[in-house]
Amino acid sequence: MTPLISPSELRSTWEEEPAPTLLDVRWNLMGPPGRQEYDRAHLPGAVFVDLDTELAAPPGPGGRHPLPDAGELQRAFRDAGVGSERPVVVHDSGDGSVAARGWWLLRWAGHGRVFVLDGGFAAWVEEGGPTTTRVPRPEPGDFVVEPGGMPTADADAAARLARTGVLLDARAGERYRGEREPVDPRAGHIPGAVNAPAAEHVAPNGRWRAPEELAQRFAGLGVSEAGEVGAYCGSGVNACSVVLALEQAGLCSPDEPAVLYPGSWSEWAGDPRRAAAVGPEAG
C-alpha cells in the first residue's frame, strides 16, 4: 500500500464510508505560521494541527521538535476527529516534508491507514479542488495512541547506524556540509552520515518522484533492501519524509520501516561531547 494519495484519489474517497479524516499540518521553518495559511483557505473538512504545539513536545535537550507525550498526542488527534477505523490523509503546503511528520506519528502511534497528499495544498488547488474558510467542528475521535509502531534511535544508536549501516541526513547540502547553520548550535553533520536532501524527493512539478526514481536515488546513496537504514534532519521533522520515501521506493515496508532519529541534529549539536563532521564527504 503506497503511503501517498493523489488529489483525484482523495476526491473520489469523499463518497466512501467512512470518509477519510483530513489533517492540515502546514508549517514553515522561517514563517509565516501555518495557521494563517489555513485560515485563508483549506480543504473542506480539514482540521488544522499545529506542528510546534501538537505534533511535538516543547524544545529542550532532546531537540527542537521532540516526540510528543502520548497522552497529549492522543488528545490532539481525537480533537481533530481521528478514529481508529477511519483512514487519515495528512497534507502540508506542497512537498510533503512536514505532512510526513503527521504520517509518521500516526504510524508510530499505531494507526494503520495513513496517507500523505501528493503535492499537498498546492496540487489540490492546481487540480481544481474546492477550498473553504469554514472551520469544521469534527466529532471527537476514538483513536488510542500506542507508541512504538515505528522504530526510533537515540543519539548513540544513530552514531552506530552511521558506522554499520546507512544514516541519511535530510537537510539541504549547505547545512550538511557545515557551510551554513541558521537555527542549531553547531554546523556540520553526524560523522558517517550521508546527505539525502528531502527536497529531492519531489519532481519540479511539486509531486513526489516515481518509486523507481526514488529507488535509484537511494541506491546511489548506498541504500539496499538488505541493509539497515535510518534518517535524521534538523529537528526530526523532514527526516520523516525520508522514511516515507524509502517506503514509496520499495526499499522499506510498513512491516520493516526505516529508523528515525527524532532528536536529530538539534539534539546532537547541543551536546558538546559529540563530534560534528564538516565538508562534502561523510565522516
Q: Which residues are catalytic?
A: 233
In angstroms, rounded to a whole number, what is the distance separating the alpha carbons of residues 80 and 42? 15
Specify the 3-state DSSP secondary structure of 259: strand
Phi, psi for 185 (deg, rounded to 5): -60, -35
Which residues, 6 or more positions from 147, have their beta carbon under 8 angstroms from its beta carbon? Answer: 67, 70, 108, 109, 110
The rounded distance, in Å, linking the Cα atoms of 245 and 97 is: 10
Q: Do residues 119 and 207 make contact, with C-beta atoms less than 8 angstroms apart?
A: yes
Nine-digit cell string for 199: 527536497
H/E element holding 245? helix 239-248
The Cα 124–Cα 118 span in angstroms is: 9
Pair type for strands 166-169 and 114-117 = unpaired
CB atoms within 10 A of CB 180: 10
Q: How many residues does the chain have?
A: 283
Cα separation, 199 vs 24, in Å, equals 20
Query: Torsion angle, CA of 248/253/256/258, rounded to 10 degrees?
Result: 0
